[in-house]
Amino acid sequence: MTGHRPEEVVGKKIVEVMGETGFNTILPHIKAVLSGHRVEYETEVHFKDVGPRLLHVIYVPDKDQLGQIDGWIASILDITERKQTEAALRESEQRLRWLASIVESSDDVIVSKNLDGIILSWNRGAERVFGYSAEEAIGQPITIVIPKDRQNEEHEILTRIRRGEPVDHFETVRQRKDGSLITVSLTISPVKNAEGKIVGASKIARDITEQKRSQEQIATLAREAEHRSKNLLANVQAAVNLSQSDTPEGLKQAIEGRIRALANVHSLFVDTRWIGAELSTIATQELAPYSEKSKTRARIEGPQVVLEPNAAQTVAVILHELATNAAKYGALSVANGQVDLKWSHEADGQLHLRWTETGGPAVQKPTRQGFGGRVTEQLIAQLKGKTRFDWRAEGLVCDITLQA
C-alpha cells in the first residue's frame, strides 16, 4: 500500500517516511492520541510509487505497565476504491434523479411496459395526453389507449421488441380516456436487464394531432390556391378574348381595365380568406373613380351580400363594363349625370341588380348589340343568370338576375 519495504521504514521517524508536508497533516491527530484520546479520521496520503490514497485511520493510545502513554496503535485501512465506488454511485443516483425528473416533467408521453404489454410506469405527460392517472394506468394493458381497429399494432410492436428492434417515429391513432381519438408519433425501444435480456419496452408518444391538422389545412389551402390561380388565369384569358377595340391603344386600355377589376376583387378575397367578397365593397371599388368630386354621381343601395368568388369576379367585371360605357357614352360622360346601383337579395338566393343612368345625353336604342353588352350577357349566362338592357331616353337601365 505505501510503496515502502519494511527495511526502508522500520526504525525511522514518521517525518522521514512521510516527509514534512505529510507529517504536518497528521501531527494534530498524533498530539490528540498522545494526550489520551481515541482518534479516527480520513485523509489523503501520497505514497512513494503509488500516488495519492484515501485512508481511514484509527489511533488508540498505547500505555506501559505504569499506565503511562508511551505511543499509540494505528489501524489504517485503504478506502480509495470504496470512496471511488461511493462517488460513482452518487453520480449514478444523481443521473437517475435527473432522468426521472426529465421523464416526469416531459410534455411527451413516456411510459414503460413489460413483454406482455402491461404498463409499468406512466408519467405526467401520459396523464395529460390520455386522461388516465398513473394509478389508473399502471398494471393495465397498454391496449387501453389503442382503438379497437388498431389492436393488431400492439402485437406487431411487441414482436419487434422481442427481436430487439426499435420502432422509430411510427405515426398512428390512439384513444383518450374520454373516447376521443388523437394522432401520435411513437418511438419504442427495447429495455434490457443487467444480464442483457430484453424484459420490456420504453415508449415515447407525441401528440401530433394539431400538427397533422395544420398539414391538412396547408394541403387544402395549396389545392385551393391552385384552383384559384387557374380560375384567375381563366378569367384573365376570358377578359383578353372578350376585349376588342378599333385601335391598339384602345384594346390595351380595355384589357387593363378588366384585369384591374379582377385584381381589385381578388384583394377582397384575401381579407375573407377566399370566402368571397361583399357586394357593396365591390361596387364602391369600381365606382370610386367617378365619385371623387361628387358623392352623388354614383349612388349605391342594397343589403349586405357576400358573393362567392366566381360570382364576385363576374359582378366586378360587369360593373367595370357598365361604368366604362357610362363614362364614354352615358351618364358619367357629363358633369351632372348620375348612376344608381340598387340590389335586393331574395330568400331563395336570387340576387337582383339594377343599374340606372340619369342626367346624361339622350339615349337611343342601338340598332345592334354593342360589344360591352355581349360581354355582360356572356358573363352572366355562365352563372346561369339573365341580363336585360332597357334603352330609355333619359338613360340606360340594366337589370341583372343571378343566383348568389
* pLDDT one-digit tens code per residue, 240-293: 655 555 567 665 676 667 677 777 777 777 777 778 899 999 999 999 988 877
User: Does position 81 have pLDDT exceeding 70, yes or no?
Assistant: yes
279 contacts 243 by C-beta, under 8 angstroms: no
Tell me the C-alpha distance between 9 and 11, whole Å.
6
**If you ran DSSP here, which 8-state letter would residue 142 be given?**
G
Domains in the chain with CATH codes: 6-84 (3.30.450.20), 106-207 (3.30.450.20), 247-403 (3.30.565.10)
Long-range Cβ pairs for the range 125-128 (8 Å, 24+): 126/205
Query: Which whole-number Å values give the CA distances from 147 to 152, 172, 173, 178, in the listed order?
Result: 10, 10, 8, 12
Query: Which whole-number Å values give the CA distances from 166 to 14, 100, 153, 289, 344, in the listed order?
Result: 62, 22, 14, 69, 66
Q: What is the mean pLDDT of residues 215-228?
A: 73
Better pLDDT: 393 or 21 = 393
What pLDDT, on a 0 to 100 scale, did the predictor assign at position 262?
72
Q: Tell me: the pLDDT tens digits for 148-170?
A: 999 999 999 999 999 999 999 89
Confidence of residue 194 (pLDDT cuts 50, 70, 90): confident
Better pLDDT: 213 or 220 = 213
What pLDDT, on a 0 to 100 scale, did the predictor assign at position 138?
95
pTM of this structure: 0.47
Tell me the C-alpha distance between 316 and 281, whole Å.
10
59 contacts 34 by C-beta, under 8 angstroms: no
